[in-house]
Amino acid sequence: MNKVRILVDSCADLTAEMYKKYDIDVVAQNVIFGETTYKDNGEEITLEQLYKKVEETGNLPHTAAVTPGTFDEYFKKTLDAGYDIVYVGLGSKLSTTFQNAYITKQSYPEDRIYLVDSMSLSSGIGLLALKAAKYRDEGLSAKEIAEKCASLAPKIIAQFTVETLDYLHKGGRCSGASKLIGHIFHVHPYLRMVDGTLIVYKKPRGPMKIALDEQVKELKDALPNVDLDHVMITHAGLDKDKEDYLKAEVSKLVPPEIISITRAGSVIASHCGYGTVGILYILK
């Protein structure tokens, strides 16, 4: 049996330290401002730089999927090194990235590369990739890892509360009227992945704290059916007081040592904006 490499795209939103610790490879999505393309690797463009460009231009960047060429380069060198591959990817209903991986896979032996549709985004993908790394370290084959991860994908709870409707509005995901009403009534949309699609799950009114408390309540209600390997708090830039509050509240429900705080990459942030934050976990 060949050794296994675990691959994700950069929308998995784990930290650099976690990628290194759990030996997970990453291929970058792309962010495009005008004629310039940046790899979403945290180096070519940071969240702070992205928000500054949006503020200066009044326009959102475009985002682009990982290309078949990028997948082909990774697949070839990894297989040539003697590894099989398990790719845990951004939900297939959200991007052409997964399709590009599938297209590229057809040029290689079918028993060497396995693709797992996370049906999720951000650290929802990351949670599944961490499971894949755990199964790899337990000695499972690529095929076995992919099968177990595919069975977990529908159990991922990926949810976010949006601080401002501006990015959803600029990106065409919120009408001008809805934006105006949202500002007047202080609505912070509570989004959740359902069957691979991002939906508006709730529309809590009032201060952002109320919207955060809704997510904490969802986590509390899900206990004891929450997998306690990892729980993520992921945000696209967040005021420190809100981050501290959310971590303290989540720590009352699950062991603090399993909580990881990560920042969204530029691709995810391009669609939701500063202040977006979520609690993500897997159900047993």
Instruction: Give 155-222 as a 3 state SS string.
Output: HEECEEECCCCHHHHHCCCCCHHHHHHHHHCCECCEEEEECCEEEEEECCECCHHHHHHHHHHHHHHH
Structure tokens at 86: 């398990």
The alpha carbon of 147 is separated from its chain's Cα centroid by a whole number of angstroms, namely 20
Supply the pLDDT for residue 197. 86
pLDDT in tens, 76-88: 999 999 999 999 9
Task: Determine the straight-line distance between the first and last CA of the chain, rounded to whole angstroms.
Answer: 29
The pLDDT score that the predictor gives to residue 164 is 63
Tokens (6 digits) for 258 = 């399993």
Give me 113's structure tokens.
């590369």
What is the DSSP secondary structure assignment for residue 256, as one 8-state letter? G
Predicted local distance difference test score (pLDDT) of residue 186: 58
- pLDDT for 181 equals 36
Q: Domain 156-282's class?
A: alpha beta
Residue 274 identity: Y
Percent with pLDDT over 70 in the chain? 92
- Over residues 202-226, mean pLDDT: 90
Chain centroid to Cα 37, Å, comes to: 21
Across the chain, mean pLDDT equals 90
Q: What is the pLDDT of residue 69?
A: 97
Range(s) of the chain covered by CATH 3.30.1180.10: 156-282
- pTM of the entire predicted model: 0.92
Structure confidence by residue, pLDDT tens digits, 17-65: 999 999 999 999 999 988 899 999 989 999 999 999 988 988 888 889 9
Sheet holding 3-9, edge to edge: 24-27, 3-9, 83-89, 113-117
| Cross-strand pairs, 280 | 232
Confidence class of residue 187 from pLDDT cuts 50, 70 and 90? Answer: low
CATH superfamily of domain region 3-33+64-153: Dihydroxyacetone kinase; domain 1 (3.40.50.10440)
Residues 149-179 have pLDDT tens digits of 999 999 999 999 887 655 543 444 333 333 3
Q: Are 63 and 267 in contact (CB under 8 A)?
A: yes
Rg (CA), the chain: 19
Q: Which residue has the higher pLDDT, 164 or 141?
A: 141
| Percent of the chain whose predicted confidence (pLDDT) is above 90 | 74
Query: At residue 124, does pLDDT exceed 70?
Result: yes
pLDDT value of residue 34: 87
Residue 167 burial by Cβ neighbours in a 10 Å radius (0-12, 13-18, 19+): buried
